[in-house]
Amino acid sequence: MTSSNGPSAAARVRSGSAGPPAEPLVGDRNELPDRIWTVPNALSVLRLLGVPLFLWLLLGPQADGWAVVVLMVAGLSDWADGKLARVLGQSSRLGALLDPAADRLYIVATLIAFVLRDVVPFWVVAVLVGRELVLGAMLLVLARYGYPPLQVHYLGKAATFNLLYAFPLLLLADGEGPVVAVVQPVAYAFTIWGGSLYVLAGVLYVVQVLGLVRAERAGVPAAGAAP
């Protein structure tokens, strides 16, 4: 839907002139080259392929040590693909989509495994997975009005960072031995910080989507920058 008073809100989002104030952007996805065969994209695909392996290790043989190794390798590749994209000049739209998708899949997969193994309470998983369902609905709303997915901001990245540190620590805290007493409070701290930031980032995303939709319906430019 477009406005007769000027470019559509979707177009203003693409140019970076619409939307409510938000956290700083991690690049502008719509200005990136449309590449597929790049080294960073290959790393992102490998990270995605590690999700079912990670889930099987947690639920099948319950090989927590190997599951932590897979998670650590995934975290390292997450850092490496962004670094290589900048160093090699191989940033791409596909890479900008694969990166957060892999992060979310690891988070959701871990939460499912944790609730099945009673590592964390069900309500924690319900809140975090519910956040993903709400954001999925927001993507449908954006598509309805012709918007691209909103950009990843630093609050969401910080939340993911905390959660990916919390998960292996929670596995260690679920075991036995003297190390549990030391690891447990650290694991809970990362879980609380990461979970709170994760939900807050989701709330901000919803606020931004609703602001853009209101601007589109009103047919007037919205102040601020894209999220």
Q: What would the pLDDT profile of 44-67 be if each residue is shown by its tens digit?
A: 888 888 889 988 988 888 888 888
Per domain, the residue ranges of the chain are 28-117, 120-227
- Return the SS3 of 16: coil
pLDDT at 40: 76
Bridge partners (DSSP) of residue 210 are none
pLDDT at 7: 41
Q: Is the pLDDT of residue 139 over 60?
A: yes
Q: Is the pLDDT of residue 99 over 80?
A: no
Helices then strands, counting H and E runs in the chain, come out as: 7, 0
More confident residue, 91 or 190: 190
For range 7-34, the mean pLDDT: 44
Alpha helix ranges (H) inside 18-119 = 39-59, 64-87, 93-116
E strand or H helix at 199, and its extent? helix 179-218
Residue matched to tokens 């919390």: 166
pLDDT at 33: 58
Task: Give the tokens for residue 40.
Answer: 């960073």
Q: 163, 108 in Cβ contact below 8 A?
A: no
**Least confidently predicted of 84-93, 164-173, 207-216:** 84-93
pLDDT at 220: 57
Q: How does the average pLDDT of the chain come out, rounded?
A: 76
CA atoms of 184 and 20, how far apart (whole Å)? 39
For range 147-164, the mean pLDDT: 80
Torsion, Cα 127 130 134 139, to 10 degrees, reads: 120
pLDDT at 171: 83
Classify residue 118 by its DSSP letter.
T
Which of 217, 162, 221 lies closest to 189, judged by CA? Answer: 162
CB atoms within 10 A of CB 6: 12
pLDDT at 206: 92
